[in-house]
Amino acid sequence: MKVIQPGDKGVEDEKTVRELAVTGLRRQGYKIFEASEGGEAFLICEKHEGRIDLILTDVVMPGMSGRKLVDRLKEIHPEMKVLYMSGYTDNAILHHGILEEGTNFIQKPFTVDGLARKVREVLDK
């Protein structure tokens, strides 16, 4: 899980992708909380007393999907913006009804610079 500050969070089950994203976003000055799966991410966010500006989460994860995680977190952090990521194309995800059109999305693989630009874009909306 990846998160961006003042209260940013991120969830990603692939360790290499998670580490790349976390390192790159921290270098951009974001405060990041990370988790490898949805349940862990939910607990971290639930305990966090401050604001969460953005959650970066994989769409498909073991246990709890990114969409289910976001639905649960929006109840306690309605201010939170969301950026989904996936190795599947956005068209495939939309076609199967996993995400809705207009959802903030970045396709893996991505570069650190590409991720940083997308995060900034979502935060500025």
Specify if 95 maps to a domain: yes
The CATH number linked to 32 is 3.40.50.2300
Specify if 124 maps to a domain: no
pLDDT of residue 104: 93
Q: Looking at the whole model, is its pTM more than 0.85?
A: no
Specify if 47 maps to a domain: yes
Q: Is 22 helix (H, G, I), strand (E, B) or coil?
A: helix
Q: Is 84 helix (H, G, I), strand (E, B) or coil?
A: strand
pLDDT of residue 10: 58
* DSSP result, 95-122: HTTSS-TT--EEESS--HHHHHHHHHHH
DSSP state of 25: H
Split into its structural domains, the chain has a count of 1
pLDDT in tens, the chain (125 residues): 444 433 445 555 577 878 888 999 999 999 999 888 899 999 999 999 899 999 999 888 878 888 999 999 999 999 999 999 988 776 666 655 567 778 899 988 889 999 999 999 999 99
| Phi/psi of residue 115, nearest 5 degrees | -65, -45
pLDDT of residue 47: 93
pLDDT of residue 19: 86
| Phi/psi of residue 47, nearest 5 degrees | -80, -20
What residues make up the domain containing 9? 2-119
